[in-house]
Amino acid sequence: MSLLPESKQQPLAQQAIEQTTARFSKRLLILVSGENESVIKTELETLAAEFAALEPVAEVRWRIQGNQLQTFYNEMFPYRFVLLDEQSRNKLIAENYQTFEKRALANLFSPVSAGKIELVDDPFGFYTQLSQRQTTDINVQISEAFLKVKNADTPTYLMLITLNKEPYSLAVQKIIIAALSDQKERLKKLNLTVQSSGMILHAAAGAEQAKSEISSIGIGSFVGIIVLLLIVFRRIKPLALILLPVTIGCITAVAVTLLIFGQVHLITLAFGAGLVGVSIDYALHYVCERQQTSAVSVLAKIFPGLILGLLSSVLAYAVQAFAPFPGLQQMALFSVVGLVASWLTVVLIYPLLTRNDANRTLPLAQSLFRLRNKIPAFRFRALSGVLLIALGATAIITILNGTSQDDIRLLQTSPDSLLQQERSIQTLLGTSSSTQFILVKCDNLEACLNKEQRLFPNLTELRNLNIIPDFQALSSHLPSNSRQGENYQLVQQLYDAKLADLYGKLKLDSVKLQSSLDAFSDAKNNLLSSHTWLSMQSSEAWRDLLVSQEINNSATIIRFSGHLNNEAKAAIGNLLSEDSDLVFIDQVSNISDLMKNYRMQVSQLIFLAYAIVFVILFWRYRLQVWRVILPPLMASLITLASITLINGGMNMFHLLALILVLGIGLDMGIFMTESAESQYTWLAVSMSTFTSLLAFGLLAWSQTPVLHHFGLTVLIGLSLVWVLTPMMRKTI
């Protein structure tokens, strides 16, 4: 979300998202199941002790201590007459007083009644109702002080672990995952099953996948590039020369980006480094040409191609700066600075570093040139022109018939087994880590609570119709001051109508009656403030429902316990449509929309880049400009059509990879045209293509969707460019 333009960001919405996310990110849920409950309870204590001893663990909850119940009583009992549940409130409004009289008698004679609470302090059992609905929002009950999951097929108990560090830390992952694996193996021998859920599990799975891919794809591509360069040049110095401008370009780009933006986004570093990789063209072009040209004249000979290559690439990448997204603007700056720094390194430093080098013959240059000449050349004739137009039209139609792949869930990297376990636990606990919620914005907290309360009946109706899942609202636990006052008056009416009758049926004297009236009167001014509520231990589970209570900048959230489908979203949209201060937030949809906007922006910028480059190159090559522009253009269209057939559509990462295809394709056409089809130039541009294929094309085998999409596009696109460019050569 930080990549969005500042004007489009909603600080309160972002704060609410962060609070909702934080509720899950540092938590690890463990469910222990088995047939023998006594064994489970014994092992839970051992399990808790093992995790509590770990340095990254802040807290382990697995049972309710006696003092916790007493603390809840001390905190909440004074507010029993003003914190009414919706059902009790509706019955009081309807003057359905018989219900409360029956409840009072049931509580009095029940063997599991309110215990230490004196009848005179709460004759109608309002505290009992309050305690039953305030404890938790998950499907768990207290069983002999243990947290037992309700309605599980086999006895299942919950343990909640809270971390004191971020789950993305590799050190934290190593400690927690190792301990969890050891405990699972230990409990398995006791016929106990352990299920776990938490952000750290997904983060650890991603880290493990990254390590594996770095070891295979990353190291493999790096070694492949080194071996390829050594095979061609058979010396270390050319290898060092070729890597030098890329390194300088990346370092300079990072420095300037930090200077301008203050930070470098990971996406900028990942894809920007790829774009700067185009600069290897300049180095390869110089080094290859130097093998047959003297140090004095080499730069003058290739300078027109170098300057045109730089100018066309810089303009192609610079158009991203016109997008209203800071992310694309940052990528544009990174790429342009990196390219210029690499180009200057080649132009200013290479003549000094290679002035004493002897000319050499590169056998591979002749072999590649013979292979190139076997590729048939394209001639503009009626049949070939029709075939070219038909190919382009077919590609465009295929692309247009594809569907967008912007849904962020398509980029999910967690293994299926982990996702299945996550869903199983969410089903058992009756909750989810959904970031779908309603943001309620007002000038002050009292107004937010009142607005929630007015919305509550409508949401309850949708829930009762099974259109939306259950939800939690701050006003259910912290009613507005006006609502608390109303609740007290409703209880006052109940007391006036039924208290004397109740005490008469119980044969209690007037002293008891007066004591109850006095206790009720003493609670009249006990309104629960937000500051008092936030200081209570019993409010911990609900604090993230309060986003802000600043004057003129207050906000709360109504959180949903499950996923909202399109019908639910439409119903909520209709409910909120008349109030701009009620905003439905769906983080998955927000990020997906962001991806869609980026995709559309990148598409437009690629078209603009081609238009600008065409104008510039037309000034240089006139009617022969098609020989330079057509290979990357056709390669891009065929690549996108192929991606659409393979994946059903494209996303932003496919298009970002096309910028790399455009850059290398333009350089290839420009250098070949400027050098009059020199065999050493063909070696240089071929080496540039092969190294890029090794560096980025191998990512097509990555299990990480983002890298896979980028790599697959580069693999297809650059392979086509390498074939299409010699097809557009001049023939005698």
Q: How far is CA 473 from CA 487, 560, 599, in A?
A: 18, 9, 36
Q: Is the dihedral of CA 227, 229, 233, 236 positive or negative?
A: negative
- Written as one letter, the residue type at 260 is I
Q: Report, in angstroms and rounded to the nearest whole number, the Rg of the chain calculated over CA atoms.
A: 35
Residues 617-629 have a mean pLDDT of 87
pLDDT value at residue 65: 75
- Angle at the Cα of 34 from the Cα atoms of 30 and 38, rounded to 5 degrees: 95
What is the chain's length? 732
Q: What share of the chain is helix, strand, coil (3-state, %, to 5)?
A: 70, 10, 25
**DSSP code of residue 358:** P
Q: Yes or no: say if 491 and 93 are a contact pair by the CB < 8 Å rule.
A: no
Convert the pLDDT of each residue in 201-257 to its tens digit. Answer: 998 988 888 777 767 776 787 788 888 888 888 888 888 888 899 889 989 999 999
Residues 461-515: pLDDT tens digits?
Answer: 999 999 998 888 999 999 999 999 999 999 999 999 999 999 998 888 889 999 9
Rounded to whole angstroms, the Cα distance separating 340 from 256 reads 12
3-state secondary structure of 3: coil
Taken in order 424, 428, 433, 439, the sign of the CA dihedral is: positive
CA atoms within 13 A on the CB side of 487: 27
Distance of alpha carbon 462 from alpha carbon 468, whole angstroms: 6
The token pair at 398 is 């295929």
Percent of the chain beyond pLDDT 70? 94
pLDDT tens profile 415-465: 888 888 988 888 888 776 667 899 999 999 999 999 999 999 999 999 999
What are the φ/ψ torsions at residue 142 (nearest 5 degrees)?
-90, 120
Model confidence at 107, in pLDDT bands (50, 70, 90)?
A: confident
C-alpha distances out from residue 256 to 250, 253, 266, 611, Å: 10, 5, 15, 28
Q: pLDDT band for 410, please (50, 70, 90 cuts).
A: confident
pLDDT in tens, 32-86: 999 999 999 999 999 999 999 999 999 999 888 767 778 888 899 999 999 998 8
The rounded distance, in Å, linking the Cα atoms of 6 and 461 is 37
Residues 6+ apart with CB under 8 A from 419: 412
Which secondary structure element, helix H or strand E, spans residue 381, and what is its range? none
Residue 20 CA to residue 14 CA, distance in Å, equals 10
Per-residue model confidence (pLDDT) at position 691 = 84
Classify the C-alpha dihedral 242-300-336-681 as positive or negative: negative
Mean pLDDT lowest among 126-140, 284-298, 409-423, 607-621: 126-140
Rounded to an integer, what distance in angstroms lies between the CA atom of residue 310 and that of residue 292? 23
| Mean pLDDT value of segment 259-281 | 74
For domain 235-351+392-408+590-727, which CATH number applies: 3.30.2450, 3.30.70, 1.20.1640, 1.20.120? 1.20.1640
Domain boundaries, the chain: 235-351+392-408+590-727
- The DSSP-derived string for 506-545 is TT--HHHHHHHHHHHHHTTT----HHHHHHSGGGGGGGGG
Beta carbons of 81 and 491 less than 8 angstroms apart: yes
CA 10 to chain centre: 17
DSSP assignment of 65-94:
-HHHHHHHHHHHGGGTTT---HHHHHHHHT
Q: What is the DSSP string of 283-316?
A: HHHHHHHHTTS-TTTHHHHHHHHHHHHHHHHHHH
Cα 417 to Cα 208, 424, 625: the distances in Å are: 15, 11, 54
Which H/E stretch holds residue 60?
A: strand 57-61
The answer to whether residue 135 scores a pLDDT higher than 60 is: no
Q: How far apart are CA 388 and CA 378, in angstroms?
A: 10
**Beta carbons of 706 and 210 less than 8 angstroms apart:** no
DSSP one-letter code for 377: P
CA–CA distance, 664 with 309 (Å, rounded to integer): 9
- Identify whether the C-beta of residue 434 lies closer than 8 Å to the C-beta of residue 585: no
pLDDT value for 397: 94
Q: What is the C-alpha separation between 120 and 133, in angstroms, rounded?
A: 23
**Higher pLDDT, residue 291 or 258:** 258
How do beta strands 193-198 and 27-33 pair?
antiparallel
Residue with tokens 């949809």: 589
Q: What is the pLDDT of residue 7?
A: 46
**Residue 582, both tokens:** 């009620």
Tokens 């002080």: give the residue. 145
Is 678:601 a contact under the CB 8 Å cutoff?
Answer: no
Sign (positive/negative) of CA torsion 627, 632, 633, 635?
positive
Which is nearest to 581 in space by CA: 557, 551, 545?
Answer: 557
Per-position DSSP letters for 390-408, written without gaps between them: HHHHHHHHHHHHS-----G
Q: Are strands 156-163 and 57-61 parallel, antiparallel or unpaired?
A: antiparallel
